[in-house]
Amino acid sequence: MDFRDTPSEAAFRDEVRGWFSEHLVGDFAALGGRGGPADEEGWDVRIEWERLLGADRWVGMSWPAEYGGRALDYAQQVIFNEEYARANAPGRISFFGEGLFAPTLIQFGTDEQKRRFLPKIQSVEELWCQGFSEPNAGSDLANVQTRAVLDGDEWVINGQKVWTTLAHRADWCFVVTRTDPESKSHHGLSYLLVPMHQPGIEVRPLRQMTGSAEFNEVFFTDARTARENVLGPVGEGWKVAMATLGFERGTAFLSQQLGFQRELTDLIEVAQKNGATADPVVRDKLAGHYAGVQIMKYNGMRMLTNLLHTGVLGPESSIGKLYWTNWHRSLGETAMDVLGTDALLVEHEGDGDYHLDDLHQTFMASRAETIYAGSSEIQRNIIGERVLGLPREPR
Amino acid sequence: MNFAFSEEQEELRRTVRQFLESKSPSGEVRRLMDTTEGYDPAVWKQMGQELGLQGLHIPEEYGGQGYTFIELGIVLEEMGRVLLCAPYFASVVLAGNAILNAGTDAQKQALLPGIASGDTIAALAFTEPSGKWGADGITLTAKESGGAWTIDGEKMFVIDGHNADLLVVVARTQGTSGTDGISFFTVRGDAEGVTRTPLSTMDQTRKQSRVEFSGVAAEPLGTPGEGWPALSKTLDQAAVALSNEMVGGAQFVLDQSVEYAKVRVQFGRPIGSFQAIKHKCADMLLEVESGKSAAYYAAWAAAEDNDELPVVASLAKAYISEAYFHATAENIQIHGGIGFTWEHDAHLYFKRAKSSEIFLGDATYHRELLAQRIGI
Ligand SMILES: Cc1cc2nc3c(=O)[nH]c(=O)nc-3n(C[C@H](O)[C@H](O)[C@H](O)COP(=O)(O)OP(=O)(O)OC[C@H]3O[C@@H](n4cnc5c(N)ncnc54)[C@H](O)[C@@H]3O)c2cc1C
């Protein structure tokens, strides 16, 4: 047991810090850590920043060198992300492309597909979105009804996706479709890669409770994609989709802890300024969140150690998702307690405008976290069945 | 970065688990909890002579084995798992660390080898009838006259006080308040003027007593009046140790719940297939695993003796106190009627969890301490 960096980890950390102190300046530094999957704050600045990251191969840092990556191991990725949070760099925007699609592509794609798509993810020339959920396929993703049929050298797609984050910004979408019309449940699905800019696709924004519209409905009406744009074998899209979900629920959280720590530090500062820290109930809650975010770090270190030793992240990573989403949600609630009557007001710039400061953003955006990427209820099912070995529900 | 036990540490865990499974099965726990002493001297002796457990973390120069708080944590976790009835926490953790923190080198040379071998059972008398865990709870007075000290007052909730050959007593010098004047003394358990009364404890697996001191001649341990830093550190170390002990019990009741949920059938299906039960187990797992992360990290900080110790001690004690109690409460619920019987062990863990939660300060107390320690 030793929590210090090894000499090579320390050297890598220095390199990363050096990179940030050189590049995180001007508008990039001014934006702070704002922005995320449900927050489009500072979009243009963030695109530029992401391109800077890509140019130095920090986008795709885990990819094999032959595809332009740095082939960093998990420990190095965590160090990079820790330093990223420490530097308070802008919120990432390539989550769907770099975080979800790229690792799935590396696992299932042909060499040609990898050479076609990875470089443009790294250069931030092509953004991706995730076309999984449908009106009747949420937690029960296997109930997907969007259909695709081959027409010569092209797939023709019809159906509807929903809650598609950043579909209005994306150039491509990875879409779970039903390619065998006779099939049911998780059989007969295929994982198609579909260009977004075409007449057969209509994107309609859905306004979220935060007031902004990061997610959308996406309608496919004879939308088309080339025959070779299927990832993994036709009819075996379920396996590929599950891998994507594994990446979504798996390692992502390992690096979030410092960002959460910062949010808590900021909240404590607000509480000290407005006098809320004189209230013993608020003190109790803040200290509880502190304990919680530290334990999140310790949990992450244990999982990372395990990952480094075994190379795989087991179903216990479900604990991580359940843990951080609950922690963050209750932090958001405490933030409102700290604000007191100030919680009653949001920023307002004119009729119909509804704009959130950071604390209200945490309070509201955190409600989505226990829903997406496998709701808390689904996570508890997974923990119960796959980790503890409890019997499944009869179906 | 490496957050895993070494092979040698895992081996220690296996050895201790094997030993405790044979020496402290539920039947033994129940036999001992009905006695006043509450432990088996023969097993205590074996723990010392065969496994060297009492001296595990005591430095070699004082007769111990020179391991660290990490190994101590492993042993305590295993003890918590089986609710071992023994004066280990009192003698090794509370009194042993108090002597290590407060004593002079000569005093450590004189007192620790007996504790390390198990020949001496020691106890730390610090809490008083007020039930306060901080410095202001210490009112028992120490008076000096011609270089000789006498102590007067009453201590409560003294774990294994009536079993102790050696009492380490926390007192205050006359006319002081707060953290000033805190002093350690040692007194033989059967010294003139000491009255020890075993108490009826809610948790029968860990014995406590009232100890009254009336004009008792006492030997200073360290410098009288300057004991607060040593006491504060002893309490932090004890909170870490207790946290490790608690996660052992918490894992045990989780296993018990899951096991039962797989085999108990109602409405034609195992109750563990109902989400109401399954989700309880999932939440228990999350809390037990998180508790382990906190306890192990805190043990590391105690082993390193670094400045993180006060913060992580309170953090771990706060989180794990609640997690352990929650797990034992859910365990009763998941077992239904049988969980409410005297015969089933669920109540033993439930009672141990609640008294461990309160002992050394409950979760609310430690969160306030934590708030202060991180500058809120
Ligand atoms: C901000 C946000 C962004 C999103 N972005 C995307 C995206 O980019 N791409 C995409 O494909 N999807 C996205 N989603 C969709 C998300 O994956 C789904 O919302 C999620 O899978 C839940 O599906 P649902 O909304 O249909 O709810 P439902 O599945 O209908 O769930 C409703 C409630 O029932 C519970 N429930 C359902 N099944 C069970 C069960 N078996 N046992 C116990 N309880 C159950 C759920 O936990 C929930 O509480 C996003 C969602 C949000 C909120």
Of A298, A316, A381, the CB nearest to B297: A298
Instruction: Give percent of chain B with pLDDT exceeding 90.
Output: 99
Put simply, the answer to whether A323 touches B290 (Cβ < 8 Å) is yes
Q: Which range is least confidently modeled, A309-323, B170-184, B214-228, B262-276?
A: A309-323
* A93: confidence class by pLDDT, cuts 50, 70, 90: confident
Instruction: Give percent of chain A with pLDDT exceeding 90.
Output: 78
Put simply, the answer to whether B275 touches A393 (Cβ < 8 Å) is yes
Res A22: pLDDT: 97
pLDDT per position as a tens digit, A161-188:
999 999 999 999 999 999 999 999 999 9
Does residue A249 register a pLDDT over 80?
no
d(CA B195, CA B189): 9
Q: Which chain A residue has the Cα nearest residue B300? A: A1
Res A253: pLDDT: 62
Residue B67 has what DSSP assignment?
-
**Mean pLDDT of chain B, nearest integer:** 98
Res A316: pLDDT: 64
Res A35: pLDDT: 64
Res B212: pLDDT: 98
Does residue A227 register a pLDDT over 80?
yes
Put simply, the answer to whether B300 touches A6 (Cβ < 8 Å) is no
The mean per-residue pLDDT over the stretch A239-260 comes to 81
Is the alpha carbon torsion for A318, A320, A325, A330 positive or negative? positive
The mean per-residue pLDDT over the stretch A91-119 comes to 95
* A368: confidence class by pLDDT, cuts 50, 70, 90: very high
Res A251: pLDDT: 61
* A75: confidence class by pLDDT, cuts 50, 70, 90: confident
* A239: confidence class by pLDDT, cuts 50, 70, 90: very high
d(CA A55, CA A47): 12
Res B94: pLDDT: 98
Mutate to test the interface with B, among A388, A392, A393 (most CBs of B within 10 A): A388
Residues facing B218 on adjacent strands = B149
Closest protein CA for atom 52 of ligand 1: A372
Does residue A36 register a pLDDT over 70?
no
Mutate to test the interface with A, among B289, B309, B314 (most CBs of A within 10 A): B289
Fold of A249-387: Butyryl-CoA Dehydrogenase, subunit A; domain 3 (1.20.140)
Q: Which range is least confidently modeled, A297-301, B157-161, B193-197?
A: A297-301
Is the alpha carbon torsion for B231, B233, B239, B243 positive or negative? negative
Does residue A37 register a pLDDT over 60?
no
Put simply, the answer to whether A389 touches B258 (Cβ < 8 Å) is yes
Res A39: pLDDT: 65
pLDDT per position as a tens digit, B57-91:
999 999 999 999 999 999 999 999 999 999 999 99
Radius of gyration of chain B (CA): 21
pLDDT per position as a tens digit, B332-347:
999 999 999 999 999 9
Res A306: pLDDT: 87
> Helix, strand or coil for residue B170?
strand
* A314: confidence class by pLDDT, cuts 50, 70, 90: low
> Helix, strand or coil for residue A39?
strand
Q: Which chain B residue has the Cα nearest residue A324? A: B286
Decide: B209 and B158 in contact? Cβ < 8 Å.
Answer: yes
Class for the domain spanning A128-235: mainly beta
The CA–CA distances, whole Å, from A286 to A86, A343, B210, B372 equal 21, 17, 37, 11
Domain ranges of chain A: 7-93, 128-235, 249-387
Mutate to test the interface with B, among A79, A282, A298 (most CBs of B within 10 A): A298
Q: What is the 3-state secondary structure (H, E, C) of B114-166?
A: HHHHCCCCEEEECCCCCCCCCHHHCCCEEEEECCEEEEEEEEEEEECHHHCCE
pLDDT per position as a tens digit, B34-43:
999 999 999 9
Res A350: pLDDT: 77
Q: Is the CB of A38 under 6 A from ligand 1?
A: yes
Q: Is the CB of A218 under 6 A from ligand 1?
A: no
pLDDT per position as a tens digit, A252-270:
666 688 889 999 999 999 9
pTM here?
A: 0.95
On whether any CB of chain A is under 8 Å from the CB of B148, the answer is: no
Show which of residues 286-325 on chain B sit within 8 Å of chain A, judged by CB atoms. 286, 289-290, 292-294, 296-297, 300, 312, 315, 318-319
Put simply, the answer to whether B1 touches A302 (Cβ < 8 Å) is no
- Global ipTM: 0.96
Q: Which range is least confidently modeled, A255-259, A318-322, B182-186?
A: A255-259
The CATH H-level (homologous superfamily) assignment of domain A7-93 is: Acyl-CoA dehydrogenase/oxidase, N-terminal domain (1.10.540.10)
Q: Which range is least confidently modeled, A32-46, A53-67, B112-126, B164-178?
A: A32-46
- Please list the active-site residues of A: 248
Does residue A144 register a pLDDT over 70?
yes
Of A1, A305, A383, the CB nearest to B70: A1
Q: Which two tokens stand for residue A302?
A: 């244990």
Does residue A234 register a pLDDT over 90?
yes
Res A95: pLDDT: 87
Contacts of A18 (CB under 8 A, 6+ apart): none
Of A2, A286, A306, the CB nearest to B371: A286
On whether any CB of chain B is under 8 Å from the CB of A26, the answer is: no
Put simply, the answer to whether B368 touches A393 (Cβ < 8 Å) is no
Does residue B352 register a pLDDT over 70?
yes
